[in-house]
Amino acid sequence: MGIISTKTIAQLSVLAACGIANASSHPRPNDLEAFVQKERAISLQGVLNNIGPHGSRAPGAVAGVIIASPSTVDPNYFYTWSRDAALTMRVIVDEFLLGKKQLQSYIEDYIHSQAVLQTVTNPSGTFLPNGLGLGEPKYNVDLTRYNGAWGRPQRDGPALRAIALITYSNWLVSTRQKQKAKTVVWPIISNDLSYVGQYWNSTGFDLWEEVQGSSFFATQNQLRALVEGNALAKTLGVHCTGCDQASQVACFLHESFWNGEHFIANINSKEVRTGKDANTVLGSISVFDVNAKCDDASIQPCNSRALSNFKAFVDAFRDPALYPINKGIPRTDGIALGRYTEDVYYTGNPWYLITAAAAEYLYDAVAQWKAQGSLSIDETSLAFFQDIYPAARAKTYSAKGKCSEFPRILQALTDYADSFVAVLKKYVPADGSLSEQFNKTSPFSPTSAADLTWSYAAFKSIALPGQCASGSAKGVYVPATAAGAPNVTVTCTANVHFEVNATTYYGENILIAGNTTDLGSWDINNGWPLDASGYTDKRPLWAATIALTAGQTINYAYVRTEDCGQDPIWEAATANRTLVIPPCDPDADPNAIQVVTDDAWQGPTGTSGGC
């Protein structure tokens, strides 16, 4: 079913760890400061090199498209991911707001590309009428659909894109360009917020694209998007469809992921893992607001549960049997960190991104306590503090008073953050370039995809409702034509759930093709990939729900796509599959499945090429 991994670019994680994301300043030892200053310049240029059409490492990418990496083999990351592009754009917007005005053209190109991308029909669905296609994680760099098997849908991309564009829109409003924000940018944001409001309570794949469930990281960013989107809508004098779900998302975030020691990265999932995952640290960084209270529902870095979670996550990688690179390092010092302890992707190595994120997390928490002028330790967070400052007790420490321990605790925490930056300094190559990972065993050299990007930003606080309730809000989706989206329309459709039993080997996939444009007109490059999440030994089920034009009769067949460059295998002609699609019903629930097939593969089967 294909290799599933993340594609983030690590350079901007170093920018974040260096305080760029929130424009904060952290005094450091001279050797670290020199490393930071060097890496800042390398990082931003590395990002711009990966943006079409002029990026030196993004040949063929159209304007505004942010590639994940120039790597095209082992692994092939030469695509654009909605999540990664949005996280990258958030940093570009932040850098623009901090004075780098030459970056505005990149932002404008991104706006146009995303307006177009929202309307592209893909294996996650169509844009109209239900916005399902917005959950597609990845596209080709020319803005066409990626048709291979993948972990889809992914629910965080629309929220993250909305956050980036909301930040830019707020700048437009502040510079007397409110009309542009309203007519050009808001329609894109509105589509994304509609998607968040409609599907926040539906499962999807996590940011590592491996686990299907409800993601801590996605939920935190969905909350931020709805809160900030609602505020922008009021400023622009428009309605925010879906934003009324913010309190319920906050309640779900607060109540559902905590297990008493740490946050479970993914719930409502069949995967069996500890749940100790960088997902939960990255989420709190992503919603960081220096002025938010530590008990804010968004779960800020200084939150007691978040601090306990940070300790549990970091300590999981201190085992030298798991990570030889960390052997002999005391608990007061930073270490190299990976995604999660069960990781086997490229043998489960440390990531530059995640090691940098640990530093950024601690810097953010220190900034919040400084802003508040006090620091409260409770039984939940006590073990975290005692590792770093053994004299810590469960009490509130104030900045006031001649003998206050408050500054000593903050200094210990800052030193701890610096020690994670020191890990980066030790293992980043001399030229400053950053791959995705570095080896956990000697010689600890860079590995996996080269030249990668990610970033973080801030959040507005929100109050919890008195009682949590599941639900959603029906979205409203309109192409953002003022930003360059095609004026797509929708015919009346009916949802057909195709199911076929087909035994496959690892790396082999099943898609469906047919005689209609919905099914690719018999072109397997435009056929519809099926999902194997329900596949078991007892029932090798492949399935997909597809919105097909109502009232037509279709011919279709299933196709096996093979590994190692082997030719695809079609079903036997004797299968002769036809299906009558129900007539148009304007009053039908647009999400309801109206037909379910019960098919079994007919024809030859494949064997692995052994590559």
The residue type at 377: I
Residue 104 sits at the vertex; the CA angle it makes with 100 and 107, to the nearest 5 degrees, is: 125
CA dist 188 to 135, 243, 355, 459, Å?
14, 15, 33, 20
DSSP-assigned letter for residue 183: I
Three-state helix/strand/coil letters over 34-59: HHHHHHHHHHHHHHHCCECCCCCCCC
Distance CA 301, CA 281 (A): 8
Q: What is the DSSP string of 413-466?
A: HHHHHHHHHHHHHHHS-TT---EEEE-SSTT--EEEEES-B---------PPPS
Other beta carbons within 10 Å of 606: 17
3 state SS of 234: helix
- Which member of 136, 156, 206, 289 is catalytic? 206
How, if at all, do strands 593-596 and 493-501 pair? parallel
Cβ atoms of residues 404 and 369 within 8 Å: no
The residue type at 258: W
Dihedral angle over CA of 440, 42, 459, 310, nearest 10 = 20
Cβ atoms of residues 414 and 362 within 8 Å: yes
Smallest CA-to-CA distance from 599 within 529, 544, 562 is with: 544
**Rg, Å, the chain Cα set:** 24
Smallest CA-to-CA distance from 397 within 419, 387, 382, 383 is with: 382
The residue type at 93: V
Residue 209 annotated in active site: yes
Distance CA 114, CA 207 (A): 20
Structure tokens at 180: 């542009």
Residue 472 sits at the vertex; the CA angle it makes with 84 and 133, to the nearest 5 degrees, is: 40
Residue 206 annotated in active site: yes
Residue 118 sits at the vertex; the CA angle it makes with 128 and 594, to the nearest 5 degrees, is: 30
- Which member of 84, 109, 156, 209 is catalytic? 209
Give the start-end residues of each E strand in 193-275: 204-205, 212-215, 266-267
Of the chain, the end-to-end C-alpha distance in Å amounts to 15
CA dist 371 to 28, 296, 378, 389, Å?
20, 15, 19, 20
Active-site residue numbers?
206, 209
